[in-house]
Amino acid sequence: MSTHFVADTATLTGRSMRHIFRSSDTIITTAVTPIALMLLFVYVFGGALKQSIGAENYVNYLLPGILLIAVASGIAYTSYRLFNDLQSGIFERFHSMPIARSSVLWAHVLTSLVANGITLAIIFAVGFVMGFRTGAGPLAWLAVIGILLLFTLALTWLAIIAGLSAKTLDGATAFSYPLIFLPFISSAFVPTETMPGPVRWFAENQPVTSIVNTIQALFAEKPVGTDIWVALAWCIGILVVAYVFAIIAYRKKVS
């Protein structure tokens, strides 16, 4: 059964990836907005912000938050592709074939991880061109990649729920808008200490801040403290809850 599942998932993932590479504008689109934000904040607001937060290189400070915005934007295409598959009737066709049913969902999940990974690589490349520098070693880089992968996986399962539950295409993608704005109310652009009381409380107790702080510390070769455990707890918690509800929604769809 496991071999059957792996082979079916690989085949369906290949199908989804071919759709993406045939219309590569989806990856370009998800990268353009975060890159535009990075250009805006570095070259327009960067001078003032760098002085106010005491950062020598504002690109280094800003990049982790931009990466999270890119992921939050990119997962909307996962729910979009899933919703389209449901509406086109391809799901019913797959279920009439001798394939592992769960492979249909996992193909969308793996496609999301690969597509978002490509987007993040593009943003990293632009960041280096803009002056991003780090002396982080291989273990720190692996930790950063692992956190970004876990964050992407958690949000992808949220996207699966939206794609399965939405009644319209707009509904399938609209869920990502609040996720895109979360980094703006976090430590991604300025330290939370500069924010007024209620906003600061929210910023310090939502998942993006701990993730951003962890990635910033890893790149700066500083101790990560408890932020990394808080970040992992948030990501794993969201992943587990989203996975459970996604499976429940999927079973209702195929029953």
- Tell me, what's the pLDDT at 209? 95
Amino acid at residue number 93: R
pLDDT single digits (tens) 96-111: 665 666 677 888 888 8
> 254: how many CB neighbours lie within 10 A of its CB?
12
If one counts every other C-beta atom within 10 angstroms of the C-beta of residue 205, the result is 11
* Residue 92: predicted pLDDT: 64
Mean pLDDT for 63-77 is: 92
CA–CA distance, 21 with 124 (Å, rounded to integer): 20
Task: Give me the percent of the chain exceeding a pLDDT of 90.
Answer: 42
Rounded to two decimals, what is the model's pTM? 0.89
Dihedral sign, Cα of residue 56, residue 59, residue 62, residue 68: negative
Query: How do residues 177-211 score in pLDDT, each as one tens digit?
Result: 888 889 999 988 888 888 898 999 999 999 999 99
What confidence category does residue 120 fall into, taking pLDDT thresholds of 50, 70 and 90?
Answer: very high
Residue 134, number of CB atoms within 10 A of its CB: 17
pLDDT of residue 213: 95
pLDDT(158) > 80: yes
pLDDT exceeds cutoff 60 at 3? no
Q: What is the pLDDT of residues 43-58, one digit of tens each?
A: 887 777 766 666 678 8
- Comparing 226 with 87, which gets the higher pLDDT? 226
Closest alpha carbon to 213 in 197, 228, 201, 198: 228
Give the chain's length: 255
Q: How far apart are CA 129 and CA 126, in angstroms?
A: 5
Q: What is the pLDDT at residue 203?
A: 93
